Homo-oligomer: A and B are copies of this chain.
Amino acid sequence: MPTNVVAARLLHSSLREVFDRASLPDTRVRVEPQAAIFATGEEDESVYLIESGQVKLSMASAAGKDCLLAIYTSGELFGESCFHGAPKRIETATAMQPTVIRRASRTDFLAEVEKARATEALLRHLAGRMIERQVAVFDLVTMPSEQRLAKVLLGVAEKLGTVEGVYLRLDQKISHEELSQIVGTTRPRITAFMQRFRKLGLIETEGRAVSVHRARTKEFIGSER
């Protein structure tokens, strides 16, 4: 493992400790599935840490089309857009499962970051978020939707799945509808692609669980075009 990855993890965990000190105990909240933590247009200048569960970030267009920007899970920080200083949220954060989060106000968190001399860790974190979005833009512009789906599946499986031999197993954490909102296509196409992936041996499904074959999927993403 490259040393810089190790460094990033250490710094990340230090951010978590900083968050612990910045958040008051009574900010621990249990959120039901489908419930919003914050929504577009709301005033909310806080950052959040996920203790357990999963949260998705999304934006909706005037026409009612949704875009799913990211999925975060246990131990992850989200809501960093408040550092921009605009009082209103531009995106919506929704629990995907029964989820427990903790909240810290932007100012409290920044004060603790300064105290702990963790500014660099925070910058690293924010730059990481920027790069994640940047890569998403790149993929949308340069890859065909089928390959984007493969990449998204692999990414989600690596983040949320459990290792099971050559497979990463995902237990029904994400619907075709949601996948379509990440990939940028329609739900029927997702279904069709998934069918094809099954034939190609990239994935296996049993019930609602999906297992992603790591090596084959990686190869598929790299190949063709």
Closest chain-B Cβ to A116's Cβ sits at a distance in Å of 13
Inter-subunit contact A124/B62 (CB<8 Å): no
Binds B, one of A135-143, A198-206, A212-220: A135-143
- Residues facing B in A125-152 (CB within 8 A) are 126-131, 133-138, 140-143
Are B131 and A134 neighbours in the complex by a CB distance under 8 Å?
no
Q: Are B126 and A126 in contact (CB-based, < 8 A)?
A: yes
| Contact between A81 and B131, CB atoms less than 8 A apart | yes
A: contact size bracket: 35 or more
Instruction: Give the shortest distance, in Å, between A22 (CB) and chain B (any CB).
Output: 15
Q: Are B143 and A69 in contact (CB under 8 A)?
A: no
Determine if A65 and B142 form an interchain contact, defined as CB atoms under 8 angstroms apart.
Answer: yes
Query: Are A123 and B122 in contact (CB-based, < 8 A)?
Result: yes
Bound: A129/B124 CA distance, A: 14
Query: Do A85 and B130 touch (CB < 8 A)?
Result: no
A90 to B131, CA, bound (A): 9
Chain B CB within 10 A, most for which of A59, A69, A127: A127
Residue A115 interfacial (CB < 8 Å): no
> Which residues of A are in contact with B by a Cβ distance under 8 Å?
4, 7-8, 59, 61-63, 65-67, 69, 80-87, 90-91, 110, 114, 119-120, 122-124, 126-131, 133-138, 140-143, 181-182, 184, 222, 225
